[in-house]
Amino acid sequence: MSLFPDDDKARKMLPIWKYLTGYFPKAHREPADINWNRGKSTDQLGSGARHMLEAAVDGKVFEMVPPEVAKLTGIEKVYVLAEAMWRVGAELELTIEREEAVSKVELQIPSTQIIHLNRE
């Protein structure tokens, strides 16, 4: 499955470059989780909310990076809100992946064989 639609009009409706450069370019350059370990923390929205509360309530702007990561990357601190943005982005990515997996399964099942259950 391609990341973008085959249809020319549909592709043009996804202005990726404009999004990256026109909206929040400084936010996109900020590192957050240097390496996304999908299995390490699965509570993306909870972690994102915690980071937003740290910024809004505690007034926290930066979080220090563990020394071993700082030594490898040269990055010593990250914006707390960059971490929140990262977590919300991770949740969106996982949601899209789940929806695409469901759509793929539905396409493989003939519509005459789909059984709809009425849950009350």
Q: Is the pLDDT of residue 115 over 90?
A: no
Contact yes or no for 52/87 (Cβ under 8 A): no
Rounded to two decimals, the pTM is 0.72
Torsion of CA 28, 29, 30, 36, to 10 degrees: 70
At 103, is the secondary structure helix, strand, or coil? helix
- pLDDT tens for each residue of 30-81: 887 666 788 888 899 999 999 999 999 999 999 998 899 889 888 899 999 9
3-state SS of 19-69 is HHHHCCHHHHHCCCCCCCCCCCCCCHHHHHHHHHHHHHCCCCCEEECCHHH
> What pLDDT shows up at residue 110?
63
Rounded distance, CA 100 to CA 6, Å?
16
Q: What separation, in Å, do the N-terminal and C-terminal C-alpha atoms of the chain show? A: 36
- pLDDT tens for each residue of 98-112: 998 888 776 666 666
Maximal C-alpha separation, the chain: 59
